[in-house]
């Protein structure tokens, strides 16, 4: 049978016959694109939860790739707790504009007006109001039946248990003991009214994969990830960046620290790490040498054993 080969004189026969090698990043990329397309094809109203962090940056690039040459066929939803770093907010607004994405920002305005903060409420309650509640409300307001999230299974042990399609009941809650079987790459997107599914295209990526991909793809990220001298206080052993409006606790002194963020969350609850890594190359080199996990500097994960599981059950990402 004649397979008609293009008559491009510059391309060698070998090149025509052989597809690209599937190294692990290509394999992960292809799997994520498959997942994004599958969800867009089957759900009525998907949305992407955009957290402005490095994982979101990768997920956004994958979405650009999945629907190219078309545009991203769903809006981005950012849950703004009002405690996000100013650098995150300006990055978010600029980047969404640059790539022409449709950005929705949702906040629990009532809780913010009531002065919800982690010092008085504790991190669990504060997260519950400003993140989980806001997220559930934001999803409901938009009538979204599927939400893409950038969570990875290697982040935390309860996440390691989660499906790519994570089913949520009418209250947005996760039942880890009763998950739908998920065989091969055949995803079940069937829902009843009010139910929804969180879709995790980056499930199988590790932190190192994310950085390698950011590097090879030259994807823009929030400058806070790169080391430089920053003003901070040392609070409960954690390097907490300070801004003009930061509320200092008694006895705290602002100092200048050479540091960067490994993971981005809310200002009061996310610590920086001491680091000189001011380029992606250096960050990757540093990552290989790390002996401690990326979420160690996130207060919310450490309130008690299994606290992430509790939050996830309640509807947190």
Partner 1 sequence: MATASAVTDFRAFLDSHLDRELLRFTTAGSVDDGKSTLIGRLLHDTKSVYEDQLASVAKSRVNRAGSGRVDLSLLTDGLRAEREQGITIDVAYRYFATAKRKFIIADTPGHEQYTRNMATGASTADVAIVLVDGSKGILPQSRRHSFIASLLGIPHVVAAVNKMDLVGYDEAKFRAIEADFRTLAKRLGLRSVQIIPVSALEGDNVVTASANMPWYTGPTLLDYLETVPLREHVADQPLRFPVQLVVRPDRTFRGFAGQVASGIVRAGQHVVALPSGRRTQVKRIVTWDGDLKAAGPGESVTLELADEIDLSRGEMLISPDAHSNSVPTVSTAFGAKVVWMHEEPLEVGKTYLLKQTSRVVRAEVKRISYRVDVNSLEHLDATELKMNDIAEVEFETNLPLFFDAYRENRVTGAAILIDPLSNATVGALMIDRAVSTATRSDLPALLAAAHIDLAERLREMLAAAGHRAVVLHGFSPEEVPVAVRALQLAGVLAIVAGAVEGATVLNASDDAGLIAALAEMGVTV
Interacting positions 37-96 with partner 1 (CB under 8 A) = 37-38, 40-41, 64-71
Quick one: 253 or 291, whose CB is closer to partner 1?
A: 291
Among 9, 10, 19, 193, binds partner 1 (CB under 8 A): 19
Among 16, 234, 249, 254, binds partner 1 (CB under 8 A): 16
Residues of span 228-267 touching partner 1 by CB under 8 A: none
Could you give the CA distance from residue 200 to residue 35 in angstroms, rounded to a whole number? 8
Q: How far is the CB of 259 from partner 1 (least distance, A)?
A: 18
Mention every residue, 6+ apart, whose C-beta is less than 8 A from residue 3.
Answer: none
What Å distances lie between residue 66 and 14, 39, 59, CA to CA? Answer: 27, 11, 10
Among 137, 286, 303, 309, binds partner 1 (CB under 8 A): 309
How many residues in the shown chain lie near partner 1 by CB under 8 A? 80
Pick the piece of the chain touching partner 1 (CB under 8 A) from 121-129, 135-143, 181-189, 237-245.
Answer: 181-189
Q: How far is the CB of 68 from partner 1 (least distance, A)?
A: 4
Quick one: 66 or 227, whose CB is closer to partner 1?
A: 66
Quick one: 252 or 296, whose CB is closer to partner 1?
A: 296
Considering the rule CB under 8 A, would residue 4 count as an interface residue with partner 1? yes
Quick one: 236 or 288, whose CB is closer to partner 1?
A: 288
Quick one: 81 or 158, whose CB is closer to partner 1?
A: 158
Q: How far is the CB of 46 from partner 1 (least distance, A)?
A: 12
Considering the rule CB under 8 A, would residue 292 count as an interface residue with partner 1? yes
**Going residue by residue from 113 to 152, which x/- string records binding to partner 1, judged by CB under 8 A?**
----------------------------------------
DSSP of the chain, one letter per residue? --------TTS-HHHHH-PPP--HHHHHHHHHHHHHHHHHHH-SSEEEE--SSHHHHHHHHHHHHHHTTSPPSS-EEEE--S-B-HHHHHHHHHHHHHHT--EEEE--HHHHHTT--HHHH-HHHHHIIIIIIHHHHHHHHHT-SEEE----GGG-TTGGG--SEEEE-TTS---GGGPPP--TT-------TT-EEEE-TTTT--HHHHHHHHHHHT----GGGS-EEEEEEEETTEEEE--TT--PPTT---EEEEEE-SS--BGGGB-BEE----SHHHHHHHHHH--S-GGGGBGGGGSSTTHHHHHHHHT--
Considering the rule CB under 8 A, would residue 9 count as an interface residue with partner 1? no
Residues of span 183-212 touching partner 1 by CB under 8 A: 183-186, 188, 190-192, 203-204, 206, 208, 212
Quick one: 80 or 155, whose CB is closer to partner 1?
A: 155
């Amino acid at each position: 049978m004649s397979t008609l080969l293009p008559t491009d004189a510059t391309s060698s026969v070998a090149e025509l016959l052989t597809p690209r090698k599937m190294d692990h990043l290509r394999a992960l990329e292809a799997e994520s694109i498959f997942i994004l397309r599958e969800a867009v094809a089957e759900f009525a109203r998907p949305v992407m939860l955009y957290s402005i962090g490095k994982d979101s940056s990768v997920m956004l690039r994958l979405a650009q790739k999945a629907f190219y040459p078309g545009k991203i066929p769903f809006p981005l939803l950012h849950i703004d707790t009002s405690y996000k770093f100013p650098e995150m907010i300006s990055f978010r607004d600029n980047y969404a504009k640059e790539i022409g994405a449709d950005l929705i920002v949702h906040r629990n305005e009532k809780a913010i007006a009531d002065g919800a903060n982690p010092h008085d409420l504790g991190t669990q309650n504060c997260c519950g109001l400003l993140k989980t509640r806001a997220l559930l409300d934001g999803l409901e307001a938009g009538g979204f039946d599927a939400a893409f999230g950038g969570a990875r299974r290697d982040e935390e042990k309860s996440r390691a248990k989660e499906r790519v399609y994570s089913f949520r009941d009418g209250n947005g809650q996760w039942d880890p003991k009763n998950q739908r079987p998920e065989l091969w790459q055949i995803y079940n997107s069937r829902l009843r009214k009010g139910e929804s599914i969180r879709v995790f295209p980056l499930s199988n990526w590790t932190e190192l994969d994310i950085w390698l991909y950011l590097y090879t793809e030259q994807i823009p990220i929030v400058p806070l990830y790169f080391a430089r001298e920053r003003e901070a206080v040392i609070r409960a052993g954690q390097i907490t960046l300070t801004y003009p409006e930061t509320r200092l606790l008694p006895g705290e002194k602002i100092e200048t620290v050479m540091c960067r963020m490994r993971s981005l969350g809310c200002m009061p609850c996310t610590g920086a790490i001491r680091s000189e890594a001011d380029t992606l190359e250096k960050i990757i080199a540093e990552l290989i040498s790390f002996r401690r996990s990326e979420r160690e500097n996130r207060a919310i994960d450490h309130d008690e054993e299994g606290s992430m599981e509790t939050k996830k059950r309640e509807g947190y990402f």
